[in-house]
Structure 1
Amino acid sequence: MPALRLSRFSSLRAFEHPGYLPVWTGALVSNVGTWMETVALGVYVTQVTGQAEWTGGVVALSYAPSVVLSPLGGALADRFDRRAYVAVGSLGQMLLAVFLAVLAFTDTLSVPLVAVAAFLNGCINMLAGPAFSTLLAELVPPEDLHSALSLNSAQFNMGRIIGPLLGTVVLAIGGISWALLINALSFMAVLAALWRLRTPVQSKPFVLEGLLKSLWDDIGRGIQVAHEDAGIRLVLASTLIVGLLVAPFIGLVPVFAIQVFGLGASAASLLVTCQGAGAVVAAIGVGALIDAFGRKRVLEGVMLSLGPIAALYWLSPTLVLAAVSIFLLGASYLICLTGIHTVCQVRAPRELRARLSSLYGMVLNGGYALGVWLQGALADRVGVRLVTVTAAVLFLALVLSVKLLRPRSFDATEA
């Protein structure tokens, strides 16, 4: 970067470090394709089945494997060259994307096959995800860790902006098959970035004998550290209720657009895009907020605001107000999760970072999988607005309870 120095903008400092930008860019291209596929398959499942439970269930299958596989992924990531480990995971996801595209082009795509592919893709993602987060963290010094994680969330959400917009165009012109094919090709960008990356190999000798016991010991060590550290323990509990009660707004976007507003793929794409836009704005600005107020006050404030903003989104009487509300919700959601993840990484010993990242992923994704399926199933029976607004109010009540009963609990989130 030129000497105008991005350090003036603390949220952008990670871009100054060699290696970070190419991986970030490759991941962005891949996520554009992923979000094209996500919107296309979400609309496909909702239109074919007409049930929120199916839409939520397919999404849940992508995240349910985290309960078992995310801790295993963290332990493995602390053993092998993370660059190669992530590349193998990306290659596996690309092959699954090719499989879905072939099914679509041959008119053999079905909801059960989409569900199977979602589950397998989730398995790969949960095994490789902790390694990717830790790989990014190792490309920057500790003082720029929050910048690295915020920008990683920003690229994920930029994909959420660009992907649905492109997806709407591709679905209108070429149909779901071309959206799935473009996603398959997008994985080549992250593979190319990883191929060019040179990082120190973080690995232990591979010994088959006693491997399972050794991995279990590694997982147990990560759990022990999380349990003993008050800050990590608090944010992991917070992550669980965020995943269970608030995060399902992401997977239920097609249901909201189709069943509540009576619209289709374009409305779903608009809402997903607005959420992503809010998250990107937040990712750029969160560094300034933390510099001004400190991580504890920012995290505490955003936890208190998530419930009311989520309720506002679900109660929106028009698509325009829903788009504005989900923009705010996307921003608050990103600030919350980035703050939580940073606490886990900053407070963990370096050699345990992947394992703590995997526990964060396990709690978030496990809570989300249960929440999105349960809220979808209940929405079919009593209405999507009633279920989701109740969840948002319950979330606010839980956060207020912690704040009132243990007013200094968030002090432990400071480094």
Structure 2
Amino acid sequence: MRALRLPQLSSLRAFEHPGYLAVWLGALISNIGTWMETVAMGVYVTQETGRAEWTGGIVALAYLPSLVLSPLGGALADRFDRRAYVAVGTAVQLALAALLTVLAFTGHLSVPIVGVVTLLNGCANTLTYPAFSAMLAELVPPRDLHSAMSLNSAQYNLGRIMGPLLAALVLQAGGPPWALFVNTLSFVGVLVALSRVSMPARDTPRTVESLWAGITRGISVARTDEDISLVLWGTLFVAALVAPFIGLVPVFAINVFGQGAAATSLLVACQGAGAVVAAVLVGTLADALGHRKLLGLAALSIGGVSALYWMSPTLTVAAAGIFVLGANYLTLMSGLHAFATARVPRELQARVSSLYSMVLGGAYAAGVWAQGALADRVGLRFVTISASVLFLALVLTLRLLSPRSFERSPS
């Protein structure tokens, strides 16, 4: 198929490639459903338990598998046909979503069951995501990789906008079971998109590495490349100290502002809207400023922006604050991911992507649970503002000690 002629903004260049566009649309449909489930289960757990620790703990279960399974997922993605591998992972997630739906409709849903299904879904997602990310990289030329990563984050956050808004309507009309049912159907979008994509031919290596050798090779590359190591350390601190704002939205809306599902949906949607705006602009900004300088500016600002969000006196101010925070977060995280992935050859991209996912998921799981647990004891605002200020202090310290980390171009 001939490439589409779309972009005037360099951020949109990946849409010129039909295979990428098809997968992007399928993933968007799936993520709309996923965010409907996320909001429904976040509200359900918060209302059932009344504790931030439980809400944060359930969210953490989705990301804990990345600590163990991300390197394995990256190595597997570099051994098998990535399209087929992603299809199998999507089918498993569809089955888990269907199970949760049946339990909800039959009145057997409980917080522990939600936790178990969340953990299993986290395992499936962790094993699948490196292949999905590397598959996107195969569908575009190297010059469009940053665009592809940013637009992938944009579709995720479009789902974050549309899913919560639909969830608010569905929860009001029919309750959690129907939100879970829509999520189950949404996985079909990915399977249909994958069936319509032709992957470019890949070179077959002369020697096949053992699975363990493949994992250790990816880790070795990350350890010896100074820039990839810096990206992974930065990802760890962002995930642990700042990113918990995502999982703690229901607690902020319900326990602090005294609202419910509608307020939770509003905040989640506003974060997504900010991220989508950033995704449209980030590629162009990266071309104008340079990737490293843009990442440095995003890292410097996100701690302060996060602190201001948590200080919001009203729900309206919080909605505006999380819009800006969502834009800042996408700019930083999509940039870090693309920067690290672009530094290695294609046969290693899934493994580097898996290490990024491992650090992001593991640190986020620890951070969202720890901040939730501390919030129950000393207050949500105190804990989250302190974490945001700590991150800002760490970035300022790094800038003073190593200013080149924020300025030099990648080698």
- Specify the alignment match of 2:218 in structure 1: 222
Question: Following TM superposition, by how much is the alpha carbon of 1:170 offset from its aligned partner in structure 2, in angstroms?
Answer: 0.3
Q: One-letter code of the match for 2:368? A: V
In structure 2, the gaps of 5 or more residues are: none
For 2:234, give the aligned amino acid.
S
The aligned residue for residue 44 of structure 1 is 44
In 1, the alpha carbon distance for the partners of 2:396 and 2:147 equals 29
Whether the 8 Å contact between 2:305 and 2:321 is mirrored in structure 1 is yes
1:6 aligns to what SS in structure 2?
A: coil
- C-alpha contact 1:248 1:371 (8 A) present in aligned 2: yes
Residue of structure 2 aligned with 1:299, choices 295, 302, 308? 295
Residue of structure 2 equivalent to 1:284: 280
Change (3 A) 1:100 1:413: farther
TM-aligned CA deviation for residue 292 of structure 1: 1.4
User: Aligned ranges for residues 227-376 of structure 1 at < 5 Å?
Assistant: 227-376=223-372
CA distance in 2, matches of 1:201, 1:118: 35
Change over 3 Å in CA distance of 1:320–1:168 after alignment to 2: same
Counting only pairs closer than 5 Å after superposition, residues 72-111 of structure 1 correspond to structure 2 as 72-111=72-111
Aligned length, in residue pairs: 410
Distance (whole Å) between structure 2 residues aligned to residue 106 and residue 259 of structure 1: 29
Question: Pick from 365, 368, 378: which aligns with 1:382?
Answer: 378
Q: CA deviation at 1:379?
A: 0.3
Structure 1 counterpart SS, 2:293: helix
2:59 aligned partner: 59
Write the distance in 2 (CA, Å) between the matches of 1:3 and 1:364. Answer: 33
Among 393, 402, 409, which residue is 2:398 paired with? 402
Amino acid at match of 2:105: F
Matches of 2:199 and 2:145, distance apart in 1:
17
Moved more, 292-301 or 177-186: 292-301
Aligned to 2:172: 172
Instruction: After TM superposition, give the deviation of residue 348 of structure 1 in Å.
Output: 1.1
**Following TM superposition, by how much is the alpha carbon of 1:198 offset from its aligned partner in structure 2, in angstroms?**
1.2
Find the residue that maps to 2:7 and give its secondary structure: helix
Aligned equivalent of 2:196: 196
User: Residue 26 of structure 1 contacts residue 191 of structure 1 at CA under 8 Å; is this kept in 2?
Assistant: yes
Displacement of 1:350 in angstroms is 1.5
Given that 1:79 and 1:203 are in contact with CA atoms closer than 8 Å, whether structure 2 keeps it comes out as: no
Does structure 1 retain, via aligned residues, the 8 Å contact 2:300–2:392? yes
Q: TM-score, normalised by structure 2?
A: 0.97
1:149 maps onto 2:145 in alignment: no
SS in 1 for 2:403: coil
- Mapped contact 2:24–2:152 kept (Cα < 8 A): yes
Tell me if the contact between 1:79 and 1:204 (Cα under 8 Å) persists in the aligned partners.
no
Q: Is 2:130–2:350's contact at 8 Å kept on the other side of the alignment? A: yes
Q: Deviation string for 1:330-354 (max 9, x for gaps)?
A: 0000000011001111101221000
**Code of the aligned partner of 1:264:** G
Deviates more, 1:38-47 or 1:340-349: 340-349
TM-score (norm. length: structure 1): 0.96
1:40-89 per-residue CA deviation (whole Å, 9 max, x = no partner) reads 00000000000000000000000000000001000000000000000000
Shift in CA distance, 74/4, structure 1 to aligned 2, threshold 3 Å: closer
Secondary structure at the residue paired with 1:235? Answer: helix
Call closer, same or farther: CA 1:201–1:95 in 2, change over 3 Å: farther
Pairwise CA RMSD of aligned residues?
Answer: 1.7
Change (3 A) 1:303 1:342: same
**Matched residues in 1 for 2:147 and 2:351: separation?**
20
Q: Which runs of 5+ in 1 are unaligned?
A: none
Counterpart contact for 1:161–1:277, Cα < 8 Å: yes
User: Equivalents in 2 of 1:8, 1:70: separation in Å?
Assistant: 36
Q: What is the CA-CA distance between 1:8 and the residue it aligns to?
A: 1.9
Conserved? CA contact 1:65–1:126, under 8 Å? yes
Question: Percent identity of the aligned residues?
Answer: 66
Cα pair 2:3 2:18 within 8 Å, conserved: no
Q: Which residue of 2 aligns with 1:13?
A: 13
Take 2:360 and 2:13, find their aligned partners in 1: how far apart are those partners?
27
Q: In 2, are the aligned partners of 1:104 and 1:176 still within 8 Å (CA)?
A: yes
Offset at 1:296? 1.2
Q: Do the aligned residues in 2 keep the contact of 1:36 with 1:180 (CA within 8 Å)?
A: yes
Letter in 2 for 1:128: T
Q: Check whether the contact 2:4–2:15 (CA below 8 A) recurs between aligned residues.
A: no
Question: Judging changes above 3 Å, is the alpha-carbon distance between structure 1 residues 88 and 71 closer, same or farther for their aligned structure 2 residues?
Answer: same
Counterpart contact for 1:52–1:376, Cα < 8 Å: yes
Paired residues for 1:202-213 under 5 Å: 202=202
